[in-house]
Each structure stands twice: as C-alpha cells, then as structure tokens.
Structure 1
Amino acid sequence: MATPLDDGYLKRHQFNTLNSSELGREDHGGIDESLPYENGRAYFHVEDLDCVQRRLGQRHAQMLAIAGTIGTGLLLGSGHAIQQAGSLSTLIAYAHVGTVAYATLCAVGEMTSFAPVSGTFPHFCSRFVDPALGFAVGWNYFYTNLLTVPSEITAAQIVLTFWDDSPGRHVLYTAILVAVTIFVNLVGKYFGETEFVMSMIKITLIIGLIMLGLIIDLGGGPDHDRRGFRTWHNPGAMNEYLKPGGLGRFLGLFSVIIQASFTFQGVELVAVAAAETESPRRNIGIAVRRVFWKIITLYMLSILVIGWTVPSNHPDLLKETGNAAESPFVIAMKIAGIKGLPHVVNAGIFLSAFSSGAAFLYSASRVLYGLALRGQAPRVFTYCTRTGLPLVSIVACSGAALLSFMTLRSGSATFFNWMVNLTTTGGYGAWFSINLAYIAFYRGMEAQNIDRQQLIYKSSLQPWLSYWGLFWTAVFILFNGFDVFFRFTTSKFITYYINIPLFLSFYFGWKWWHRTGIWRSEDIDFITGIPTIAETEVPEMPPRNLWEKIGRIII
C-alpha cells in the first residue's frame, strides 16, 4: 500500500492543484493575498514558498528546547514552591506535570516526524482540526513567546544586581542584553551553536549543584551535618495552603502543580525548529526522546536534593530579590557554611535567563513566519535572506525586546508586569491544542488506513498519552487561578483568565470571516505540501572516533 511518505506518491496524488506560480511566489517567498481561502486548502501547498534552510542538527534542536525550559523557574522559583507546599508536595507536583509535558512532547514529536514543515503545531491544528484553530493557536503562541522575551531580559538584568545594584547602570545593562539577544538571532549561522553552548553550561551547572546538594545532605559540607530526610519530618513534607488540614495540603499540592506547569513550558520548542533541522524526521525524533529525560531528570533530582537540605520554613525562601540570594541552592550552601559558590549560581541564573530570551525570540519569529506562509499573517513576514533567515519576522519580533526598558520606571513596571502576566497562560493553550491536534491526526490516519509504522518517530502509548495531556491541560487552563476565588481581586482574575476570551475571539472571528469547518477524519489532507522522506533525510554519518561515540550517547 502506498503511503503519503513514499517517493512519487505526492506527485500522483495532489489534493491541491495550485502550483507555485499560481500562489504568486516572489524572489524570497510570499503568497498572493487575493487568493480565495478555500477552507484552508490553498495554504497547505507552500513548500515552494518556504525559504528557510536546514542548518541545525538534533543537538541544536534539543538544546533549544532545554534553553526555553530550564531557566529561572528551576534555579529560583523552585524555592518558593517548597516554601508554599512542602518538599514532598513539590516533588509529586513536578513529577505529575512531567507526565503531561511528556504526553505533549510525544504528540508534537510524532506530528513533526510526519510533517517537518514551517509553522509547526499551529499548522497541524489548521491541517488536522480546523484552520480557525490554527489561526487562534498561532497568534496566541506568537504573542506568548513574544512577550516572554522582554520578561527574560528583565530577569537577566535583575540577576546582575547581585554584583552591581547601581541604579544608573540598569539602563546600560538592559540595552546590552537587548542588543546581544537580537544580534544572536540575526546571525542565524551561529544561533544554534550559541544556544547549544549556553544550554550545555546550564546542564553542567545544574548537575554540579545536584551533586553538591547530595554531598551537603550526606554530611560532606563544612558543617558535617548529615541531614537525611530530616526536613520531611520537621517542619514536614506537605504544607497547608489557604485552608487547614487535608484540604489545605491538597491545595498546596495543586498550587505547585500549576506553578510547575509554567516551569515545564518550552519543551515544545524542539518542534519549532523542524523546518530548519537537517534530517528532521530522524533528528527531531532523537531530540524528543532525549530532551524530556534530560529535563525531567534534572528537575526531579534538583527538587529532591533541595527538599532534603532546605526546610520549607526557612526565612530566606520568602525573599524576592530576583537573583541568587533567593535561590534554594544558594540557601543550601549558606546553611552548610559554603562561601564563594553563590557567584557561580548567579552566573548560571543569568545565563539561563538570557538564553531563554534568545530562544523565545527565535520561536516567536518562526511562528510568525509560518503564519505568514499560509495567509494567516501579512505576507511581508515571509521574506527570507539568501541564507534562509526570515529577516523581517526576526526584526519585527525584536521590537518586543525594547519593552524591557519599561521596568526601569516604577509606573511603567506595573503595567509591564501586568501585561506579561496576561500571557503566562498562553502555554497551556499551546499544550492543549497540540494534544487535540494529535488526536485528530491519529483518528485521521486510522480512517484513511495510513500505517503509523511508517513514521520514523512514534509513541506506542498513543493516543492515550494525548487524552491524558488534553485532560490535564484543560484543568490547568480552568483552574490556574483557583486561589483568586479564596482571595478575590479583579486584577488577578483578569490576569489569570483574560487569555480564554482572547483565544476564543481569534478562533470564532477567523471561522466567521472565512467560513471554515472542522475536518472530518476522512477528509484530512495528509499529502499536500508534506515533503517525502527522500526530500528531507540524508544518510547518518557514523562516529569517526571515541569522542564522537561518547558525544552521540550523551548529547
């Protein structure tokens, strides 16, 4: 039986008869905005318009996801989680959210293995569910990533106050960070290597901190105090939150589940780079398998050793300095009497914030580029340089980095923080849509008798993983602001829930304007514009020496 990925099948079966000249191709890509929308079909056939080039390897793809996921949430925010809910509750919460992140990562990895094209999961929503959903998801994910850029730059600038808190230099530091973040993205040739190096430094730092925490716990610190599980008994492993008793302990656990889900957001970035990754079906599959286990291992071990060493009632956990002073790792060193290393931790926190900002700028520009390719954003954003860099999209998105200057004025800082908080739930919508698109993808393949075994990457636990992910992301969306109902304020309620009506307005507005419909499983297009295996994959080069063999296992 012929399959959509077979050589020649695409030529024999074209659902879309429009060719590149009919789509109005220009020197550097673009589409004719006068085309009828045709319920989304016209914009599936864009392979001749997509001008990005495959320059990234699997190590770059997975490190991009790690750069977006491992940041200040682990190095700083984990301490607040332990203070609020207790060590055991935090460990359970992070493990639980890890299963949801795994479900989402498997779903987007399998769809990307099938169709490694620009636009990533917003395009999958258009192709497998409804073009209106792709539009809503794309713009929601775009502005979520876009406004995360100045947030991370601001975090990096605040981290520098650990060494220099001179108010007059904040503007200078912010300007340097903005310039370097934009420069790294504009020099596309070195972006992958830059993120790879920074992510490797972060991973090395966290492994070192985990080992140090274990040494402190076993009595190897200057105080020679063997702690064991003492903190789980005094002050206790599970804290009460908002209410006393068992209900309070459950609310504490649930509050950290919500917090941890913020921290894990960014794992899906591994698929954003698919159109720029060499041999994407093989390399994205490898990256999906490895990135999750790296992230979950680092997170779980970090939470475990912190919980052993730092009691949840330690007063320093209440600090909100934004730099190493509030890091639970630094607090553990302080308790054990270790000096000097807090500067190393602060450097790691700074690097984490900066690399996250660069990764989210990359993601925002590629999502905008993918939307423009399919007529869901102005066509000017499809412009690429001769080296395959979506220049206009990057320049347009770089403007958001300038918003980080707003934090330097007290009045503007309040507005900036409120604006950024409005986007924090956007990642939930992305995860929900990924799992929804996968369920439609899976059902469509079954209905059209397409064998999933042809895919280079697939999960044997599907579609149950996506049902699990769909359920829990819906819970995150509906209950992420549950504490506002115990201590209600209008501003917090808006912050937690304004993204829901905004998303729905995108969806129903596009559906009404273009009269789109939800695809039936029998009608889903698994052909148009999807490159064959022969078009994307090149033979894998065997390792040439011992170091390359070790690197292939580790990285």
Structure 2
Amino acid sequence: MSVDEKTSSVEKGAVQDYVVQSENNFQLEAENDNVRRKLKERHVQMIAIAGTIGTGLFLGSGLALSGAGPLGALIAYMLVGSVAYSALVAIGEMTAHAPISGSFAHFAARWCDPALGFAVGWNYWYSNSISVPVEITAATILVTFWDDNLKHQAGYTALFCVLVCLINIFGVRYFGESEFFFSIVKLLLITGLILVGLIIDLGGGPDHDRRGFRYWKHPGAVAPAGLVLYNIGLDRFVAILNQIVQAGFSFQGMELVAIAASETQNPRRNISKAVRRVFWRVLLFYIGGILITGMIIPYDDPRLLQDTGTAAESPYVIVMSSAGIKVLPHIVNACVMLSAFSAGNSFLFSGSRIIYGLALHGQAPKILAWCTKGGLPLAAVLFSSSLAWLSFMNVSSGGATVFNWFVSLSTVGGFINWWVVNITYLHFYRGFRVQGFDRKKLAYYSILQPWLSIWGLVWTTIFILINGFTVFWDFNAADFLVAYLNIPIFALLYFGWKVIKRTKIWSPTNMDFVTGIPTIDETDSPIVPPTTILGKIAAIVF
C-alpha cells in the first residue's frame, strides 16, 4: 500500500476494501455503506444513560436479593458491572478510532481474525434478537397487573410486536426520538425508586419505621444457596456466583451506544462523551439501586419469591405496599412496562445493525446490506424483526419455560460478546502501539487500558464456564444444554468460517488502521458554543 493510499480517507461508503491483504490473500469484502447519520447528541447521551435499562434491573433485583442477600447481590452486580464497563470502554476506544458500520464484529474481523468477527457477529445478532421476544413478553405480562384476562394476552403481544417493529422500520430518527422519551421515563423511575427507597429506609414512609441496615444483620448480609450443606461459608459463596447470570441480564446491551456510531452525528465526540458518563450510570443506578433494595426488605421475605412478572414482584412495590403507599405501584408498573418495551426496541436496533454490518463485509447474505434511499437497512431490520414474533410462544402452555431458556441463552451470549470485545481490544492495543499510533490522540481513550480489558477477559471466561454450575447438584439435561449450548455454537461458527475461508490471525504489523476509516474532519463538525440559556443547560445535561 502506498503512502498516498494510506493517508487518504473518505466518508464511509466510498472505499470498497476495508482490510489489507493477509499472507493467504484473504480479503474482507465490503459493500457501500449507505446508512445516514441521524442520531443527535441528545439521543446518544440518553441512550447511553438509560437505553437498555429494563426488567432485569427493576424486577430482577428482587430475585438477586432473595438468592444472595443484600451484600451478595451487591457483590454480584458490582463484579458484573465492572466487566460490562470493561467491554464498553474497549469498544468505545476502538469506535473513537473507527466510527463505521459493523462495530465490534467488524473490529474483531479487522484487527483480530476474520473468523472471530464472523462468529461474534452472528452470536451478537442472535443473542439480541432472542432478547426482543423476552422483553415483549415481559411487557405483556406487566399489563396483567391491570388486566389479568388471559384471553387478551395474544392481543397485547401482537400490539407490542407491531409497535417495536414499526419504530425500527420508520428509521433511526424515530428510534432515537422514542428512546429519548423512554430513557427519560426510565431515569425518572429509577431515580424516584432510589429516593423513595431511601426515604422509607430512613423512616419517612407512612409506617415511620426506620430500617437502616437492619436486614444486613437479620436475616443476614449473604443468603445461603442451600447447595453446600456441610459448609455455610462455601454455600454463601455459591449463592453469590449463582446470581452472575441474573446480574448479567441486567447489564445486557450497554454497548448499544457504540453500535449506533455509524448513524450518529459527530460520532467521535458524542460517543466519547457518552462512554465517559457510563461509569457514573453504573455506579448510581445499578449499584445504588441494588444497595437500597437490600436496605428496605429482608432477603427471606416470601413475597420476593412470587413470579408474577409484574410490578407486584418488585421489592420497591412490596415495600411501598407494606408502608401503606397505594398509588405508586401502578405508576411503577406502567414505567416498567415502558422500560421492557424500550429494551426490546433497543435489542432489535442492535441486532439489525450488527447483521447489516456482517452483510456489508461479506459475512452474511448480501441482501441484508440493502438500504432505502433514506439510509435505513430495511432488509436487516425485517430479518431481525422476524424473531420478535416468537413472543407468541408465551401464550401457549409451556412457553414460559422456553422463555426462561431464552433469558439464559441471551445472557451467556452477552458474556461471549464481552469476551470477544476485550480480546479484540488487546489486539487493537498491541497493533496500535507496534505501528506507532498514539492512543492519546483519539477522541476517547482510557488510562485503565489495557489492564481493564485483561480484567474483563479473565472474568468473562469464568462467567461463561460457571454460569450453569448449579445444574451439577441436580442434573437436568435441558438446563445443562441451555447453560452451555452457546459455547459449541460459537466454536462451530469460528472454526467453520476459519476452515472455509482459510483465515489467519492478523499480526500487529499487518493490521489496517487506515483504509476506509473517515477522519475526524469528515465525521465531526466544529463545536458551536451555545448562546441561549436553554442551550447551555442542554450542553451540560447532554
């Protein structure tokens, strides 16, 4: 490659070859990228703050509390949160260098191994796509808080399916506006719940009962799992490990903001700002929420074990009802229903953009790379939308069991995605350094790297291996299959593509950090300082 070719860079879509030739002459194909940058700064910031907060946080916190106790749940959420953050920081730094379609699946193919990009891309697509019917089903069940007539369930399911698909079919601008609204609702809800929980804990509720850290002392800080009867300490440790999957589902989809980079205005500036703020989001909303939950209700409260799927199983609603607060449970249920719908909406967007990126680079059927004149990857959206209709399975008997399997499959798939992101980043870091690039000149870089990615890589490996360990106490073939099915599927995708295409792992000197990547001048416009009071407030908030 000549010097002129290396230094040239044009906006995405004008370059056909995204990756340099390898020793075996493998070359990643590339179609024209025709998506449009229509997501504004406020869209990106709100999606980053609350885009994928859903039932996993609002309702799942009760399951984590009953399963591991207040301290155990807090440790599980802090650990998984740190791992999720490691993946987001890694993908944020790579996106700051290359805000192009395909996101981390393309990064894995470009800087690690084309076969790895193929495997993680399809893994990400299916783990996100099966999360869509999970969230639609959750939204449908939440409606039963007001209407428990099972005959109406199919109608509600159809309504949510149609709405989720339509929002994505209308285009990224409509997706951005809808998620902006939903994110505001979720932020108000989680902030309100934390404040109400804190007020109740301090004795400000109608019952004037000051709880403090009472429940950390009795029944205790960590709940037993009931699996290791001869050693209570080990049994409590097992209880914490058992909540890893529940915590993982709550953190699913944090990388959405980076996946939308190719459709974001001023992507380097906006994505970088969003990633920097995620740490505080995790600390305040996830960790703070779990901490308050463990302060207001004991882990052995039998009401935490109810499986209604509505706000009735939320620890906050349980405490509100006990404290004599009557109206808030209905408000909470309505907001959680919107959160579930929003999470399904986000998962469909993520899945469609990843499969579009795969098609764009020759790793999925080329028809899925087709865009409308307005820049909507319609074929990818319709293809991904097809799995949303699996939510009708929950209407039939036995469907609930299948959807519990879907939750586990999507969560383990998410762990694999984080694992690959951190592997890819370590290759990116090494190649960047060997070729003489300066990370500090990127719009975003973390001083914690590469140690943060090493931390994430080690723990995701452990998560993937232990996620179904409890099945060995009372072996069940179906549960074992659900816990570990993703591993052979991922291996089959990786080695299958590697054998067919004869790919090799990129050496640090052979990685391409230039071709087809637009410069910052081509993607980001100069910052225009706000002149009005509202503009200045918006600049601080967003």
Shorter-chain TM-score bucket reads over 0.9
1:458-488 deviations in whole A, cap 9, x for unaligned? 0011111110010011111111111112221
Q: Which residue of 2 aligns with 1:323?
A: 310
**Distance in 1, Cα, partners of 2:26 & 2:42:** 34
Q: Which residue of 1 aligns with 2:412?
A: 425
Q: Is the 8 A contact 1:58 1:287 kept in 2?
A: no
Structure 2 alignment gaps of length 5 or more: none
Q: How much does 1:436 deviate?
A: 0.3
Q: How much does 1:428 deviate?
A: 0.6
Q: Is the 8 A contact 1:70 1:295 kept in 2?
A: no
Relative distance call for 1:368 and 1:462 in structure 2 (3 A) is same
Superposition misfits of 4+ residues, deviation over 6 angstroms: 19-23, 35-38
Relative distance call for 1:412 and 1:201 in structure 2 (3 A) is closer
| Pair 1:140-2:120 in alignment | no
1:398-439 deviations in whole A, cap 9, x for unaligned? 111111111111145544544554333100110000000000
RMSD after superposition? 2.3
- Code of the residue aligned with 1:55 in structure 2: it is K
Q: How much does 1:147 deviate?
A: 0.9
**Distance in 1, Cα, partners of 2:40 & 2:380:** 22
Partner SS for 2:243? helix
Q: How much does 1:549 deviate?
A: 2.1
2:228 to 216, 239, 243: 243
| Pair 1:521-2:508 in alignment | yes
1:397 to 372, 384, 387: 384
Range moving further from structure 2, 186-195 or 511-520:
186-195
Q: Which residue of 1 aligns with 2:337?
A: 350
Partner SS for 1:430? helix
Identity %: 53
Q: Is the 8 A contact 1:89 1:252 kept in 2?
A: yes
Partner SS for 2:427? helix
**Distance in 2, Cα, partners of 1:99 & 1:439:** 17
Partner SS for 2:518? coil
- Code of the residue aligned with 1:150 in structure 2: it is P
Q: Is the 8 A contact 2:245 2:408 kept in 1?
A: no
Partner SS for 1:206? helix
Superposition map of 1:106-505 within 5 A: 106-188=89-171, 189-241=173-225, 242-244=227-229, 245-415=232-402, 417-419=404-406, 421-505=408-492
Q: How much does 1:552 deviate?
A: 2.4
Q: How much does 1:516 deviate?
A: 0.2
TM-score, structure 1 normalization: 0.92
Q: How much does 1:191 deviate?
A: 1.2
1:283-329 deviations in whole A, cap 9, x for unaligned? 10001111332233111221111111101111100100000110011
**Distance in 2, Cα, partners of 1:263 & 1:431:** 14
**Distance in 2, Cα, partners of 1:413 & 1:257:** 21
2:83 to 97, 100, 103: 100
Q: How much does 1:104 deviate?
A: 1.0
Q: Is the 8 A contact 2:245 2:411 kept in 1?
A: no
Q: How much does 1:231 deviate?
A: 0.7
- Code of the residue aligned with 1:144 in structure 2: it is S
Q: Is the 8 A contact 2:191 2:285 kept in 1?
A: yes
Q: Is the 8 A contact 2:22 2:510 kept in 1?
A: no
Number of matched pairs: 533
1:13-33 deviations in whole A, cap 9, x for unaligned? 579xxx96988xxxxxxx9xx
Q: Is the 8 A contact 1:37 1:514 kept in 2?
A: no
Q: Is the 8 A contact 1:65 1:266 kept in 2?
A: no
Relative distance call for 1:110 and 1:315 in structure 2 (3 A) is same
Q: How much does 1:548 deviate?
A: 2.5
Q: Is the 8 A contact 1:62 1:291 kept in 2?
A: no
Q: Is the 8 A contact 2:51 2:179 kept in 1?
A: no
Q: Is the 8 A contact 1:219 1:226 kept in 2?
A: yes
- Code of the residue aligned with 1:196 in structure 2: it is F
Q: Is the 8 A contact 2:259 2:353 kept in 1?
A: yes
Q: Is the 8 A contact 1:67 1:355 kept in 2?
A: no
Q: How much does 1:95 deviate?
A: 1.6
- Code of the residue aligned with 1:41 in structure 2: it is Q
Q: Is the 8 A contact 2:52 2:342 kept in 1?
A: no
**Distance in 2, Cα, partners of 1:412 & 1:77:** 20
Q: Is the 8 A contact 1:118 1:274 kept in 2?
A: yes
Q: Is the 8 A contact 2:137 2:157 kept in 1?
A: yes
Relative distance call for 1:68 and 1:255 in structure 2 (3 A) is farther
**Distance in 2, Cα, partners of 1:10 & 1:509:** 37
Range moving further from structure 2, 205-214 or 54-63:
54-63
Relative distance call for 1:420 and 1:97 in structure 2 (3 A) is closer
Structure 1 alignment gaps of length 5 or more: 24-30
1:109-161 deviations in whole A, cap 9, x for unaligned? 00000000000000010011100000000000001111111111011000000
**Distance in 2, Cα, partners of 1:412 & 1:473:** 30
TM-score, structure 2 normalization: 0.94
- Code of the residue aligned with 2:116 in structure 1: it is L
Q: How much does 1:59 deviate?
A: 2.9
Range moving further from structure 2, 88-97 or 414-423:
414-423
Relative distance call for 1:92 and 1:9 in structure 2 (3 A) is farther
Relative distance call for 1:491 and 1:293 in structure 2 (3 A) is same
